[in-house]
């Protein structure tokens, strides 16, 4: 199953580096919407992504509208703490896009209002503001993969060099 992770104006290089590593590990496409709060040459970004940069499919956009216009026929889900549906309530279609906002502000309120039925959240205690962005991406991406029975990934029953 093809998965597309979208980061809208990410601010923290270590989070984006960790997300690069997650996307490389599962074959997800990463779409970065500018402005970025760091340089892609940032040493913290590179360190967090380790040596996975060449294994990740990363695309850059000047605006979210540019990305949406390019993929008009695809389904977009918007991760927010304000959604009614949890990420596990959704049956994700092939080649969907999971959109995450910047660490300090999330996604724009107007975008969330316009797409209320496509908003998803990760359940957590009421007095907690949010989860770390890279953790949130991993939680949702692995749910999408679980629904496809981890298609295209090595599972425990198929390991060879790591079995004991």
Instruction: Report whether 16 contacts 42 (CB < 8 A).
Output: no
120 is in an annotated binding site: no
130 is in an annotated binding site: yes
56 pairs with which residues across the strands?
none
Check: CB of residue 60 under 8 Å from CB of residue 34: yes
Q: Which of 155, 138, 151, 145 is nearest to 22 (CA)?
A: 138
SS3 59: strand
What is the sign, positive or negative, of the torsion defined by CA atoms of 133, 50, 141, 68? positive
**37 annotated among ligand-binding-site residues:** no
Show binding-site residues. 101, 122, 130
Show binding-site residues for S-adenosyl-L-methionine. 101, 122, 130
């Amino acid at each position: 199953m093809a998965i597309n992770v979208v980061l809208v104006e990410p601010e923290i290089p270590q989070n984006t580096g960790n997300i690069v590593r997650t996307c490389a590990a599962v074959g997800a496409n990463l779409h970065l919407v500018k402005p970025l709060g760091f340089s892609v040459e940032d040493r913290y970004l590179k360190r967090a992504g380790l040596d996975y940069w060449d294994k990740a499919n990363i695309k850059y956009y000047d605006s979210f509208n540019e990305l949406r216009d390019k993929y008009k026929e695809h389904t977009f889900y918007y991760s927010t703490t304000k959604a009614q549906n949890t990420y596990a309530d959704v049956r994700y279609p092939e080649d969907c896009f999971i959109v995450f906002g910047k660490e300090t502000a999330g996604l724009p309120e107007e975008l969330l209002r316009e797409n209320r039925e496509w908003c998803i959240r990760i359940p957590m205690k009421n007095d907690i503001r949010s989860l770390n962005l890279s953790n949130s991406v991993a939680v949702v991406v692995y749910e999408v993969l679980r629904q496809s029975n981890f298609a295209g990934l090595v599972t425990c029953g198929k390991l060879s060099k790591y079995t004991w």
